Amino acid sequence: MSLPILLYKMKALIAPKVFKKAINIIFLMIRQKEKKTIRN
């Protein structure tokens, strides 16, 4: 019974960090695309 709870806690701790990284990468990609369009 303790193992699923432990895994759930691990997911709860890791998920927000991964989510923030993904948002940062997407945000950077969008900014790079905007810069390219402005230069052209």
pLDDT greater than 60 at residue 40: no
Number of domains making up the chain? 1
Q: Average pLDDT for residues 7-18, to the nearest whole number?
A: 89
- The overall longest dimension of the chain from CA atoms, in Å, is 59
pTM (two decimals): 0.53
User: What distances in angstroms separate CA 3 from CA 6, 7, 32, 33, 38, one per listed residue?
Assistant: 5, 6, 43, 44, 52
Q: Is the pLDDT of residue 31 over 60?
A: yes
Average of pLDDT values for 10-25?
91
Which tokens go with 11?
A: 């997911």
What pLDDT, on the 0 to 100 scale, is given for residue 1? 55
Whether the pLDDT of residue 24 is over 80: the answer is yes
Domain span at residue 15?
A: 1-40
Assign 39 a pLDDT band (cuts: 50, 70, 90): low
